Structure 1
């Protein structure tokens, strides 16, 4: 499954800054950062469950938010990109 993860973490406290780092680490374990707080994940259901659980442990629901967008198997037809930082082929080789 292809999932877009976005989050907005309140970073005015040291705890918030730590949550921001932890959220990024959780996403980087499963996908690719495409913008500062936006990640593309190409994961199986087990990986998704692990990533989702970790993110929900990290955020403070009173101050932060996280959104998940499920693009399905036809995601390549639903993603359009313009500008710098070109996308990556999640099905391609991991070594560049």
Structure 2
């Protein structure tokens, strides 16, 4: 499955800055960063559940926002990039 993950973490406190780094690290572990707070992810349904559980455990639900969009397979391949865009190799091995 293909997911688009976006997030907005409140960074007005040191704890918020820590949460922001943790959310980014979680997303970097499974997907490709295409903008500062936007990741494209190709994963299995069980990986999605694990990802969402980790994100939910990390954020402050009263201050932070994470959106997970489930896209049709092949959507990333048809994406049109304008400007200084990152071309993420979704089906290549992800090396961490």
Give the alignment's TM-score, normalised by structure 1: 0.89
- 1:69 corresponding residue in structure 2: 69
**TM superposition outliers: structure 1 runs of 4+ over 6 Å:** none
- 2:83 corresponding residue in structure 1: 83
- Distance in 2 (CA, whole Å) between partners of 1:20 and 1:94 is 22
- 1:11 corresponding residue in structure 2: 11
Once the two structures are superposed, what CA deviation does each residue of 1:1-26 show, in whole Å capped at 9, x if it has no partner? 11000000000101100000000011
Runs of 5+ unmatched residues, structure 1: none
Aligned residue pairs: how many? 94
* Structure 1, 43-52 or 84-93: larger mean CA deviation: 84-93
Give the alignment's TM-score, normalised by structure 2: 0.89
| RMSD of Structure 2 on Structure 1 (CA) | 1.4
- 1:24 corresponding residue in structure 2: 24
TM-fit CA distance, 1:47: 1.1
- Distance in 1 (CA, whole Å) between partners of 2:92 and 2:57 is 31
Determine if contact 2:9/2:63 at 8 Å carries over to the other structure.
Answer: yes
- Distance in 1 (CA, whole Å) between partners of 2:38 and 2:80 is 15
TM-fit CA distance, 1:59: 0.8
Once the two structures are superposed, what CA deviation does each residue of 1:31-60 show, in whole Å capped at 9, x if it has no partner? 011111110101111111111111111111
